[in-house]
Amino acid sequence: MQLKKPKKIRHALTAATCGLLGVNCSDSLGEEGDWSFDSAVLYYSEVDRVTAVEPVISATRDFGEEKALNLKFVFDTLSGASANGATPSDQPQTFTRPSGKGVYTASAEETPLDDTFRDNRFALSSRWEQPINRDYKTAFGVNFSTEYDYSSLSANANLSRDFIKRNTTLNAGLSLAYDTVSPEGDIPIGLSSMVIDNGQADYRSEFNASRGDSEDNKDTLDLIFGLTQVIDRKTIMQVSYSFSDVSGYLTDPFKIVSVVGEDGRPLEYRYEQRPDARQKQSLYWQVKHQFETDILDLSYRYFWDDWGITSHTIDLRYRWMLDGRQYLEPHIRYYDQSEADFYRRFFIQDESLPDHVSADYRLGNMQALTIGMRYGVALRNEQELSLRLEYYLQSNDNTESVIPGILNDMELYPDVEALIVQLSYKF
């Protein structure tokens, strides 16, 4: 006997999907089972910092003959605080909000966090897959996302070719993206000093003088070349090379860097300034192997860019089948990154500022560890429910040769800890 409820949900979602797209899906509504849905809610929460809740729904319709359409909606709600890049001090510190209206403060010895961080993001992506003939397959996609101060539009195409009884597949993909950033209070002029409202009469004109355009853009070209190889009946492997060329406004308009005196106390804060171009490359290797019933999934990525960052990422999952329906999947991921050439934790008075500067800890020397567990259970009618719990820890290393005065007593590189919870339901 078929379950009635999931079918009703399926129909409602199909109608909603078609309605949102403005297309007539009456034919597909009449064919039960052609659409399949995959959904999840992610909860991501950092200790004392950002919290995000992210529901996702993905709908796929199989048109037969390996033709398929996939639509995905993501809604992302973010709140909390984010490190602004400034150093802590033994005195309370005051910073101007990005809008220029009002201030936020950091207590003595506290990592300065911008607590004005709040955003909702909505993303829609679509993908169409279609074979050209027996050996060649294509896929095309369009993605759009919008949030309060940011929007992104991208299109991608992928071509793959099967060889040797489909045991070897080569693929090439191209993606072009156009992003627009329009921060509250306009874009700060890179390396300019943060103007703080101390009651001075001409505060507003001073603040405006530290601002440039109201919006700027970023263009991204991504290329990916991959090889997938079936090794044996239970093993498959993939290697790929990807190249990404990004140009335009790559600075974070909300980040600053402290200029401190010989005693380590802040004298002023300068808005960060990153280069306006970046080329990223990576090599990726993944293998998947089924033992008796359990499945091992191991991957490694080597990443490098022309900002001087290199990184290694190792990811291991082991799906431990408890019985025919349930599994537990432990997961461990280790990430190690070297800093960008222009990353500095702070500047000391009289040091000349280079053209490019950022104190964003995400560009510093960093290690990150993710440890988690997933429980999944297969239900009737090809439905599946799963829950994952993960702990994420980021640690940064000091690379400053001289640490002046009070900064020796401050925590310049606090760890960032986060909890990741995800509930998924396939139906």
Instruction: Pick one of 123, 191, 196, 316: the residue that binds other proteins (CB under 8 A).
Output: 123
> How many chain residues bind other proteins (CB under 8 A)?
91
Q: What whole-number distance in Å separates Cα of residue 208 and Cα of residue 212?
A: 8
Segment 196-235, which members bind other proteins (CB under 8 A)? 220, 222, 224, 227-234
Nearer to other proteins, 127 or 270 (CB): 127
Q: Near other proteins by CB under 8 A, which window of 7-15, 184-192, 238-246, 399-407? A: 238-246
Q: Tell me which residues in 359-388 interact with other proteins (CB under 8 A).
A: 362-363, 366, 368, 388
Q: In the bound complex, what is the minimum distance in angstroms from residue 26's beta carbon to other proteins? A: 27
- DSSP, res 308: S
Termini Cα distance of the chain: 16
Calpha distance 47→408 (Å, rounded): 24
> How far is residue 250's CA from residue 303's CA, in Å, rounded to a whole number?
18
Task: Please give the Cα distance from 244 to 95 (Å, whole number).
Answer: 35
* Nearer residue to other proteins within complex by CB, 151 or 192: 151
Segment lying near other proteins (by CB under 8 A), choices 1-9, 161-169, 186-194, 263-271: 161-169
DSSP string covering 148-195: TTEEEEEEEEEEEEEETTTTEEEEEEEEEEEEEE--TT-PBPTTPBPP
Q: Does 134 bind other proteins (CB under 8 A)?
A: no
User: Scanning residues 327 to 356, which ones bind other proteins (CB under 8 A)?
Assistant: 335, 337, 340
Which residue from 286, 371, 377, 419 is in contact with other proteins, where contact means CB under 8 A?
286
d(CA 87, CA 264): 9
**How many angstroms separate the CA atoms of 132 and 109, rounded?**
62
User: Of residues 62-121, which lie at the interface with other proteins (CB under 8 A)?
Assistant: 72, 74, 76, 82, 117, 119, 121
Cβ neighbours, 10 Å, residue 278: 19
Shortest Å, Cβ 231 to other proteins: 5
Q: How far is the CB of 307 from other proteins (least distance, A)?
A: 8
Nearer to other proteins, 96 or 394 (CB): 394
β-strand partners of 128: 69, 140
310-321 and 277-290: which strand pairing?
A: unpaired
Q: Give min distance, CB of 303 to other proteins, in A.
A: 4
C-beta of 331 vs 403, nearer to other proteins? 331
Q: How far is the CB of 312 from other proteins (least distance, A)?
A: 9
- Which of 219, 220, 238, 214 shows the shortest CA–CA distance to 228? 238
8-state DSSP, 86: P
- What is the rounded distance in angstroms from the CA atom of residue 344 to the CA atom of residue 355? 12
Stretch that binds other proteins, among 4-12, 27-35, 191-199, 297-305 (CB under 8 A): 297-305
Q: Is 396 in the site for other proteins (CB under 8 A)?
A: no
Q: Does 290 bind other proteins (CB under 8 A)?
A: yes
149 binds other proteins per the rule CB under 8 A = yes
- Closest to other proteins by CB, 72 vs 265, is 72
Beta bridge pairs of residue 245: 221, 279
Q: Does 51 bind other proteins (CB under 8 A)?
A: no
Q: Which of 252, 257, 264, 269 binds other proteins (CB under 8 A)?
A: 252
302 lies in the site for other proteins, by CB under 8 A: yes
Rounded Cα gap, residues 315 and 392, in angstroms: 13
Eight-class DSSP state of 140: E
**Rule CB under 8 A: is residue 247 a binding residue for other proteins?**
no
Query: Phi, psi (5° rounding) for residue 401?
Result: -80, -30
Task: Choose which of 28, 89, 96, 152 interacts with other proteins (CB under 8 A).
Answer: 152
Q: Which is nearer to other proteins, 21 or 174 (CB)?
A: 174
**Sequence letter at residue 150:** Y
DSSP conformational letter for 226 = E
Q: Using alpha carbons, select from 63, 61, 59 the residue that is nearest to residue 20.
A: 59
25 vs 420 by CB, closer to other proteins: 420
